[in-house]
Amino acid sequence: MVPRVLGRDDDMSRVISLRVSNEQFEVWKSLPEEKRDLLRNVIRTILSHPTMLDENLQRWIAVKSVLKWVCPVCYTTFSSRKALIEHVRYYEFGDGKCPFCARKSGNILDHLRKSHFISF
């Protein structure tokens, strides 16, 4: 395996490089720039909040891989996007306070999407 740099040094003082297989590097090259940026942001978020790597994230990913509409907080599954959004707005974040970073937000769905890369 050959080390390949997956980050850019345009807005950061440090670069993290990852060792990937040739097949993984080909997949990386085939991704559109928006998806590459999304992966970079996911890595940055996890590095900023390492507690996200606990078993809760692993559980959410496992459930999400099987079922489409899953609450990122309590892992309840829903039959529609609308039901999930209503649950998130009124039951999980009724007070407007984010459980991931403890910030208050007027539009919790917008906050989750922009700050934590969680979309519904």
Q: What is the 3-state secondary structure (H, E, C) of 69-106?
A: EECCCCCCEECCHHHHHHHHHHHHCCCCECCCCCCECC
Q: Give me the pLDDT at residue 91, please.
A: 77
DSSP class of 19: E
DSSP class of 7: S
How many Å apart are CA 57 and CA 42, to the nearest integer?
13
For domain 52-120, the CATH class is: alpha beta
Show pLDDT as tens, one digit a residue, over the chain (120 residues).
545 555 554 555 678 888 888 998 999 999 999 888 888 877 877 777 777 677 666 666 666 666 778 787 777 888 888 988 888 877 777 777 777 777 877 777 788 778 877 766
Q: Give me the pLDDT at residue 35, please.
A: 86
For 77, residues 6+ apart whose C-beta sits below 8 A from its C-beta are: 63, 67, 69, 70, 71
Ordered by start, the domain boundaries in the chain are 1-48, 52-120
Q: Give me the pLDDT at residue 26, please.
A: 92
Check: CB of residue 49 under 8 Å from CB of residue 100: yes
Q: Report the predicted TM-score, pTM, of the whole model to 2 decimal places.
A: 0.42
